[in-house]
Structure 1
Amino acid sequence: MEIIRFAELKNEPWRNKGGVTRELASHPKAASAQDGAWDWRVSIADVTKAGDFSTFPGMERVLTVIDGELLLLTVDGAEHPLEKYRPFRFSGEAASHGALPTGDVRNLNVVTRSDTYKGFTSIIELSKKRAHPVFEGQLAVLLQGQATVSPGAAEDDGATDAETEAAPAPEPEALGRYDAVVGSDVRSPEILGRGFLAVVSIDRVAG
């Protein structure tokens, strides 16, 4: 089970100095969060002043405000008021500008190479009674509240019932705000708690 701890991520300043980015994951792993050498990337950005966003030719973006009230995003001349927890998809090569009418915001960004991958972001409310599994190709980010994560049930590996019962259950691990859980189809991690979770899915484009 893999957990990406937000507190351990490195800040990378934007080219225009309008904010900083922390990369949660990318593929393939690039030397810099800003060089665009990857096919997909998931990151969290703090926007502290109005300004132009970087362009990513040949890519598509899904941006979600996860802290703060409102980002006023202008894409190719069209204005879009983006409220908290409402994902917005737009072309990475479009001219885009962000304004902050209500103060600083923090964004969850999913950027994918258009001809190879498709990115999706869903915001879900957690439950203490029903665990939310995180599957292969997904990344789950705790946005708000308190939660723990545990490995899911193991698939049949030939062990006897007695051996399975004797094996100690793994202790759940606490998640901090903006910590990310990497999905798996082998003992898919399961998250329990109260609050809100962003589930990012990266799907390969058919063909």
Structure 2
Amino acid sequence: MAEPVVLRAAVRAVVPWRNGAGTTTVVAEGPPSSAGSSGPTWPEPTWREPTWREPTWRVSVATIARSAPFSEFAGVDRLLMPLSAAGLDLVVDGRRVHGEALEVLAFAGESAVAAVDVAAEGLDLNLMTRRGSAEGQLRTVEVPTVLELAPHEVVGAVVLSGEARLGNDVLGALDAFLVPGPATVAVAGSGVLAMARISGVADPGS
């Protein structure tokens, strides 16, 4: 049974978007699509290396400080959850879309996407999965809760409000945990998690 790994918000490095138009922090990501069945990596994102290879999946928290285009990720499916009360306005392939706070917006990584009419700095949670290699779901879950993971699944959860407890570990706002494989995990506390569930991935050690 896989044990959850606690990922503290305070130790995440702030890194630029691929196009340089904003910044993000990587919560966790899976192996590069060319790297076989090695397990997930955290907290240092492999895409910061000079010999960058696309990860199979990535969970990240981006800062939206101004109206700006998003980076292109061809062959990637993207799910985005605005975390700020005002939500987020996007233009996706010429079509304007408004995402309310905690609503999940889906679009292709090769689409032309831009944040527009940004009046105040905000955050959004992102789940990216490489098409044909993994599939992702993103939703909110209230705690306490019990998470059930089947084989070939990974769950990354980020605390949005309140606190979550995993044994003796107490997680506050934007702290996260990763469960890299089949398991049953009881999460105590009171609050809301954003849960990214990734399926179709190789189990660590397989």
- Which TM-score applies when normalising by structure 2? 0.79
In the TM superposition, structure 1's runs of 4+ consecutive aligned residues that sit over 4 Å from their partners are 33-36, 184-187
| Partner of residue 45, structure 1 | 62
State the identity %: 29
Q: What 5-or-longer segments of structure 2 have no aligned partner?
A: 32-40, 202-206
1:140 counterpart letter in structure 2 = A
2:48 counterpart letter in structure 1 = S
Cα RMSD (Å): 2.2
Mapped pair 1:72 → 2:89: yes
1:21 counterpart letter in structure 2 = T
CA contact (8 A) 1:70 1:102 kept: no
Q: Deviations over 1:145-166 (max 9, x none)?
A: 122112xxxxxxxxxxxxxxxx
Report deviation, 1:31: 3.9
In 2, Cα distance between the equivalents of 1:141 and 1:70?
18
Q: What 5-or-longer segments of structure 1 have no aligned partner?
A: 151-171
In 2, Cα distance between the equivalents of 1:187 and 1:14?
33
| Partner of residue 132, structure 1 | 146
| Partner of residue 75, structure 2 | 58
Greater C-alpha radius of gyration: 1
Give the 3-state SS of the residue equivalent to 1:38 in structure 2.
Answer: coil
1:196 counterpart letter in structure 2 = V
Give the 3-state SS of the residue equivalent to 2:141 in structure 1.
Answer: strand
Q: 2:161 aligns with which of 124, 144, 148?
A: 144
Report deviation, 1:188: 3.3
Q: Deviations over 1:109-144 (max 9, x none)?
A: 0111111111110112223xxx33263511111111
CA contact (8 A) 1:73 1:96 kept: yes
CA contact (8 A) 1:50 1:97 kept: yes
CA contact (8 A) 1:36 1:56 kept: no
What is the total number of aligned residue pairs between the two structures? 181
Q: 1:83 aligns with which of 86, 100, 104?
A: 100
CA contact (8 A) 1:18 1:48 kept: no
